[in-house]
């Protein structure tokens, strides 16, 4: 990269966009000018990549969520110019870090599922796979969380307020999406996904919904201003917010509209590229296109493809269904019943009656196939796509999809053995496992530049960033004191950086010499943040009784957003806040322990938290966390997993060995065995320390502001069966924590365990995952731009 040219380019964009010189520009203006200057560097490669990919089979990832985070730092890493650009900016008296920090996260997702989609985009580009993402360009992503006196408040997320310099709007490729009541324009915004180590630039295409006309001129003239703008508002509402509240019918309709909007626009786009190559010959459609459905949200793509082929392209229904059966593959992300989507027939009929007709037709053909196979009526009812006037999206996806995958070995086994057992018996050949992964660019190379540089020094090459299993070679340093000391020194640096950041944004002082124990993830009862909270409160009680207790200084960090309508999750946030207040303000406890719930956990905050952790808390009820990916980010950055035998934790300890992590609690088999016989009250009454912390919910120790929320939490555990087995796992949790404290005393051994985790994290690169999708599902090989 030519330094002078870059300076000129930044200056130029500052001038044409803001009419000022760089010297006068605000940070966000510099951010935009710099981003445009960098975009200019990759646009030619981007065009070349598109042309190259158009020559063969392509895969499309359809996802309602992309939790992208910030673009600038990641793109600098991918382009291989981070240090150079930092120098250029230094020469201009600009601090790159400040410019990075001004960028808003693109938070177009809720949690793991959306972040997985983002990691897959990065890995698709870096492994040179013809993969394009499709999604929705929500004007407002996941809410911003404000903590007010320990409770969560939500504020609208305005990620576009400083502009979106990395996206290119393609007006000429807009398509029209039709609903029964009105039609809208879907306008694509393309984001470049820049490969690390090659020239490839993949595309994430996000659709924005706009009105066909800007307003109704007649009504406006009649001075009916609100009515005149109704069509504009209706259209723009479709891509206004991620997952609108759907507790009422209007919300459900909006969400269903969003889903159809996304799949209809994407399929019309795919069909347009197909026709440009093959005219109206659709016989090769499945050889040219593979569509991965990220959970059930985009499953309407199936009847939409058939609708377009039948109604607009004169294909016979039977042939259209056969084509669809070669195109779609479905990823299942959860076995939680509430997350398996079902839509009322009435809602579908209201918005797109033709789609309902097609679903009915598919169901009819399916039932005939089952009858031919000799299934009886009762069995058929379990498979049927439409049942009790509801469309079961997973059933539609599994019947038509040619592949169905779970997201970790244990999860896929549970699907085959229990949740989808009948389907597995019907179509054993469709079921596959694809253990999730994370991109080592963002989650190591960018967010832990100190560790990355050291690994490169030790291995003598940076090729591990593209081929993460090379980290295995680090094992040879297992007894090398200098290496172990350096690893611990880097961890200390990352803890100091995090502490400084937390001091700045939260106003709380943390001790970087203490053990950092971190639980960051969406707030959900099955993830059991409440169990962690009970443990912390019990530790506090013991420390009060015995202030000279022999434990290392410890800092417990939480970060989590609770779904706005999820009352219990919000109560748990409040409870943790109350515990933090009590512990942190107690002079007797002094510096021994500290608790903090950080505000607005999101991708960019995660980049500071994961590298600073000593302990990664992964304590979901066994069988409930399909995979988890936060666990992998921690592992790669040298934290030890404190977790249950669940999701990808199982594979983490397989790779890094159980003795280098802390596994505790009930396993899936145990929970199955206990079954309906579980009596949480027995556990509650049997252990006084447990009873004491559970009673703290209701005995006046803490205040929930008179809402009764803490009483409700208490009831869920003691009187309503404790669905997630918190009380059953409490004692094992405590014992495992004792082992952590004992292990932390031996810093050398701790460093060895940490090294083993880093060295064995290679398999959790999403490069490995995406190549498995490409080979084993899509039948696609890499294509590299020369």
Ligand X SMILES: *Cc1c(COP(=O)(O)O)cnc(C)c1O
Task: Please give the residue whose beta carbon sits closest to ligand X in the complex.
Answer: 630
Q: Among 603, 615, 690, 728, indicate the residue that binds ligand X (CB under 6 A).
A: 603
Binding to ligand X by CB under 6 A, coded x per residue (else -) over 545-584, reads ----------------------------------------
Of 277, 264, 360, nearest to 312 (Cα)? 264
Which of 183, 285, 279, 276 lies closest to 235 in space, CA to CA? 183
The crossing angle, in degrees rounded to 10, of helices 688-695 and 709-718 is 150
- Cβ 141 to ligand X, closest distance in Å? 11
User: 129: which 2 tokens?
Assistant: 């796979």
- Dist. CA 710–CA 670, nearest whole Å: 29
Q: CA-CA distance, 420 to 430, in Å (whole number)? A: 12
- Give the binding range for ligand X (CB under 6 A) out of 110-118, 150-158, 309-317, 362-370: 110-118
| String of contacts with ligand X for each residue 221-260, x by CB under 6 A | ----------------------------------------
Q: Which of 32, 629, 754, 766 binds ligand X (CB under 6 A)?
A: 629
Minimum gap (Å) between residue 120 Cβ and ligand X: 13
57/633 with CB nearer ligand X: 633
Cα separation of the two ends of the chain: 18
Binding mask 64-83 for ligand X (x = CB under 6 A): ---x----------------
* Minimum CB distance to ligand X, residue 459 (Å): 26
Among 73, 112, 401, 437, binds ligand X (CB under 6 A): 112
The owner of tokens 């990620």 is 159
406 near ligand X (CB under 6 A): no
Identify whether the C-beta of residue 604 lies closer than 8 Å to the C-beta of residue 588. no
Report the residue number, 157 or 363, with the smaller CB distance to ligand X: 157
Tell me the Ramachandran region of residue 783: left when phi exceeds 0, alpha when psi lies from -120 to 50, beta otherwise.
beta
Interface segment toward ligand X; rule CB under 6 A; list 5-13, 627-635, 698-706, 758-766:
627-635
Listed in sequence order, the residues at least 6 apart from 610 whose beta carbon sits closer than 8 Å to its beta carbon are 443, 447, 448, 518, 520, 630, 633, 634, 637, 639
Report phi then psi at 255, rounded to 5. Answer: -65, -40
Q: Classify each residue of 209-242 as buried b or exposed e, where b means 16 or more C-beta atoms within 10 Å of its C-beta.
A: bbbeeebbeebeeeeeeeebbebbebbbbbbbbb
Q: Which listed residue (124, 244, 303, 630) binds ligand X by CB under 6 A?
A: 630
Q: Which stretch binds ligand X (CB under 6 A): 107-115, 421-429, 506-514, 760-768?
A: 107-115
> Between 495 and 528, whose beta carbon lies closer to ligand X?
528
Of the two residues 306 and 598, which places its CB atom closer to ligand X in the complex? 598
Subset of 354-373 contacting ligand X (CB under 6 A): none
**Cβ distance to ligand X smaller for residue 633 or 734:** 633
**Considering only 111-119, 300-308, 401-409, 777-785, which stretch makes contact with ligand X by CB under 6 A?**
111-119
The 10 Å Cβ neighbour count of residue 755 is 23
C-alpha–C-alpha distance, residues 270 and 291, integer Å? 10
Cα–Cα–Cα angle for 475, 480, 484, rounded to 5 degrees: 85
Q: How far is the CB of 142 from ligand X (least distance, A)?
A: 9
Q: Is the Cβ of residue 116 or residue 348 nearer to ligand X in the bound state?
A: 116
Joined together, the tokens standing for residue 505 give: 């944004």
The distance from CA 433 to its chain's CA centroid, rounded to whole angstroms, is 18
Question: Does the protein bind ligand X through residue 643 (CB under 6 A)?
Answer: no
Identity of the residue, 609 or 736, whose beta carbon is nearer to ligand X in the bound complex: 609
CB 770 within 8 A of CB 407: no
Task: Check residue 657 and give left, alpha or beta (phi > 0: left; psi -120 to 50: alpha).
Answer: left
Per-residue string for binding with ligand X, 32-71, x by CB under 6 A?
A: -----------------------------------x----
Query: With CB under 6 A as the contact rule, which of the stretches 52-60, 108-116, 413-421, 649-657 interacts with ligand X?
Result: 108-116
> Between residues 209 and 629, which has the closer beta carbon with respect to ligand X?
629
Number of residues that bind ligand X (CB under 6 A): 13
Label residue 565 exposed, middle or buried (CB < 10 Å: 0-12, 13-18, 19+): exposed
Nearest approach, Cβ of residue 107 and ligand X (Å): 8
CB of 521 to ligand X, least distance (A): 3
Binding part of the chain for ligand X, among 629-637, 698-706, 710-718, 753-761 by CB under 6 A, reads 629-637
For residue 647, what is the enclosing H or E element? none
Nearer CB in complex with ligand X: 274/297: 297
The label of the residue with tokens 């007709």 reads: 357
Position among 165, 188, 628, 762 found at the interface with ligand X (CB under 6 A): 628
> What residues form DSSP beta bridges with 517?
556, 615
**Among 289, 392, 430, 521, which residue sits at the site for ligand X (rule: CB under 6 A)?**
521
Choice between 403 and 622, CB closer to ligand X: 622
| Minimum distance of ligand X from residue 591's CB (angstroms) | 28
Q: Which is nearer to ligand X, 123 or 198 (CB)?
A: 123
SS (H, E, C) 279-324: CCCCCCHHHHEEEEEECCCCCCHHHHHHHHHHHHHCCCHHHHHHHH
The binder of ligand X chosen from 14, 59, 111, 256 (CB under 6 A): 111
Residue with smaller CB distance to ligand X, 111 or 165: 111
Residue 115 binding ligand X, by CB under 6 A: yes
The CB-side HSE value for 737 (13 A sphere, CA atoms) comes to 24
Count, residues in the chain: 786
Among 606, 611, 638, 643, binds ligand X (CB under 6 A): 606
Whether the CB-CB separation of 648 and 436 falls below 8 Å is answered with yes
Active site residues per annotation: 333, 521-522, 527, 629, 633
| Secondary structure string (H, E, C) spanning 652-690 | HHHHHCHHHCEECCCCHHHHHHHHHHCCHHHHHHHCHHH
H/E stretch holding 166 reads none
Q: How far is the CB of 633 from ligand X (least distance, A)?
A: 6
- Residues of this chain that interact with ligand X (CB under 6 A) are 67, 111-112, 115, 521-522, 602-603, 606, 628-630, 633
């Amino acid at each position: 990269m030519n330094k002078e040219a870059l300076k000129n380019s930044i200056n130029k964009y500052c001038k044409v966009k803001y009419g000022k010189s760089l010297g006068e520009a605000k940070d966000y203006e510099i951010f935009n000018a710099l981003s445009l200057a960098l975009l200019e560097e990759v646009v030619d490669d981007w065009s070349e990549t598109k042309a190259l990919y158009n020559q063969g089979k392509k895969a499309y990832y359809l996802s309602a969520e992309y939790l992208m985070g910030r673009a600038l730092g990641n793109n600098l890493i991918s382009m291989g110019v981070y240090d150079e650009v930092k120098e250029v900016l230094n020469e201009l008296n600009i601090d790159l870090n400040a410019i990075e920090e001004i960028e808003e996260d693109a938070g177009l997702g809720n949690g793991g599922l959306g972040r997985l989609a983002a990691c897959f985009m990065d890995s698709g580009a870096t492994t040179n796979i013809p993969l394009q993402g499709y999604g929705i360009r929500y004007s407002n992503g996941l809410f911003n969380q404000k903590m007010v006196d320990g409770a969560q408040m939500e504020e609208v997320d305005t990620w576009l307020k400083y502009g979106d310099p990395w996206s290119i709007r393609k007006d000429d490729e807009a398509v029209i999406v039709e609903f029964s009541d009105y039609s809208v324009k879907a306008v694509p915004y393309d984001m470049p996904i820049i490969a690390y180590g090659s020239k490839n630039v993949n595309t994430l295409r996000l659709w924005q919904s706009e009105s066909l006309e800007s307003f109704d001129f007649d009504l406006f003239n009649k001075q009916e201003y609100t009515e005149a703008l109704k069509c504009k508002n209706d259209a723009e509402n479709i891509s206004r917010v991620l997952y609108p509240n759907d507790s009422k019918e209007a919300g459900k309709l909006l969400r269903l509209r969003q889903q159809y909007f996304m799949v209809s626009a994407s399929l019309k786009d795919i069909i347009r590229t197909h026709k440009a190559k093959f005219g109206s010959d659709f016989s090769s459609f499945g050889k040219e296109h593979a569509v991965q459905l990220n959970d059930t949200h985009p499953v309407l793509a199936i009847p939409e493809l058939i609708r377009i082929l039948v109604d607009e392209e004169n294909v016979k229904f039977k042939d259209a269904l056969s084509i669809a059966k070669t195109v779609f593959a479905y990823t299942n992300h959860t076995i939680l019943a509430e997350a398996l989507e079902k839509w009322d027939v009435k809602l579908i009929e209201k918005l797109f009656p033709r789609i309902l007709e097609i679903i009915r037709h598919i169901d009819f053909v399916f039932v005939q196939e089952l009858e031919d196979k000799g299934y009886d009526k009762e069995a058929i009812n379990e498979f049927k796509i439409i049942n009790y006037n509801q469309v079961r999206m997973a059933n539609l996806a599994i019947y038509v999809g040619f592949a169905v995958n779970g997201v970790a070995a244990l999860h896929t086994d549970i699907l085959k053995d229990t949740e989808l057992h009948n389907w597995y018996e019907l179509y054993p050949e469709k079921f596959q496992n694809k253990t999730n992964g994370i991109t080592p660019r963002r989650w190591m190379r960018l967010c832990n530049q100190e560790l990355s540089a050291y690994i490169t020094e030790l291995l003598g090459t940076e090729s591990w960033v593209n081929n993460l299993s090379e980290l295995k070679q680090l094992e040879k340093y297992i007894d090398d004191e200098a290496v172990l000391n350096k690893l611990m020194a880097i961890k200390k640096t990352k803890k100091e950086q995090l502490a400084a950041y937390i001091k700045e944004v939260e106003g709380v002082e943390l001790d970087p010499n203490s053990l950092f124990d971190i639980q960051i993830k969406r707030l959900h009862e099955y993830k059991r943040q409440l169990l962690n909270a009970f443990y912390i409160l019990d530790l506090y009680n013991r420390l009060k009784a015995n202030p000279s207790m022999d434990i290392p200084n410890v800092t417990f960090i939480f970060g989590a957003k609770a779904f706005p309508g999820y009352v219990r999750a919000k109560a748990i946030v409040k409870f943790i806040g109350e515990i933090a207040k009590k512990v942190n303000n107690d002079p007797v406890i002094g510096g021994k322990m500290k608790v903090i719930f950080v505000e607005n956990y999101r991708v960019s905050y995660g980049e500071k938290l994961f590298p600073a952790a000593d302990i990664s808390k992964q304590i979901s009820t066994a069988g409930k966390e399909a995979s988890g990916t936060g666990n992998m980010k921690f592992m790669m950055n040298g934290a030890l997993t404190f977790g249950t035998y669940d999701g990808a934790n199982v594979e983490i300890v397989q790779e890094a060995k159980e003795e280098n992590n802390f596994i505790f609690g009930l396993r899936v088999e145990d929970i199955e065995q206990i079954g309906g016989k579980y009596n949480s009250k027995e556990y509650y009454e049997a252990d006084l320390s447990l009873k004491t912390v559970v009673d703290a919910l209701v005995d006046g120790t803490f205040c929930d502001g008179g809402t009764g929320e803490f009483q409700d939490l208490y009831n869920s555990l003691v009187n309503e069966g404790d669905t997630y087995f918190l009380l059953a796992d409490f004692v094992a949790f405590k014992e495992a924590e004792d082992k952590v404290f004992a292990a932390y005393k031996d810093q050398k051994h701790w460093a060895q365990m940490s090294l083993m985790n880093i060295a064995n994290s290679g398999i959790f690169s999403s490069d490995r995952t995406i190549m498995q999708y490409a080979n084993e599902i899509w039948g696609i090989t890499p294509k590299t731009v020369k």
